[in-house]
Amino acid sequence: MRGSMRLIVVCLGLLALGSPAQAALDAATEGRIGGAYSNACNDRSQLMIRLFGDTLDIERGGSVVHATRVRADRTPPADAPPDFKAAVRGEARGAAVALTLTHNAQGLFARIDGSERALAPLGAGVAGQVLRHCDPNCNALPGHEAAAGAAGPQGPTSLLADRRFRAAWTTVLGPLAKERWIARLEGPAPPLRELGAGGASLVLGAACKPHDCRDNSLVFVWNRDAGTVSALIQQGGRRSLVGTASPLGARELERLWTEEWRQR
């Protein structure tokens, strides 16, 4: 591996990577490793890694390093740790960014590496930080399921186990329910977040189409008390509002969508 930067990413099923030692992320691999890494998954002010589509974001306190040209590499470097699985590299601000990930019984961890120029927008002390994957299923070792009731934030697909949410979601989607990534919320996604508005119990979720997050993404707000859901969905670059009027209002949905998918 050339230079001092490297990006190592692993999750369950990473063997699905193509046979070449280095290749662009395919949709199946992206679906397995995409998501958020953080030591405070519900606090967006803290350091977080987000892998969506063929881009990698490292963010903290509203500042974001946005990496492109993301590629996978399964060849371990000479100094690879015993639990090395694979590498993924990206570029930001004309320089390399990198994560070194290890996977053990405690979970999937990412150590941030990269050039000073690439990481400069995040401030000092970012290089060398180690973050844990936010999805308990990714933290489980291969061949082991996440323990029932495992601690940690869940993604939007977990809500589909709730009959009330599933029924409300299918109803508001109408014809959009034919779009698999929308109906099943199965693309790369950050953890669910709790919101508050007028005393209501609200959950914010977000997801995007595997391998095409830039032009196809959504946010939704689930009102657990009322059993209603509202969403802003972008398809092919065009956005629309669906569902019951959100307690937060249309403008707030727009802001939340921008925060999730454009402020990178």
- Tell me which architecture the domain covering 156-261 has in CATH: 3-Layer(aba) Sandwich (3.40)
Give the pLDDT confidence of 92-126 residue by residue, as tens digits.
989 998 877 778 877 878 888 888 899 999 999 89
In tens, the pLDDT along 19-68 reads 345 556 666 556 566 678 888 887 778 899 887 767 788 999 889 999 98
Give the per-residue pLDDT at 147.
46
Residues of the chain with CATH 3.40.1420.10: 156-261
Cα gap 48→54, rounded to integer Å: 17
Examine the pLDDT at 150 and tell me if it is beyond 50. no
Single pTM value for the model: 0.59
Give me Rg for the CA atoms of the chain.
18
CA–CA gap between residue 98 and residue 113 (Å, rounded): 5
pLDDT, tens digit, 9 for 90 and up, residues 213-235 = 888 999 999 998 889 999 999 99
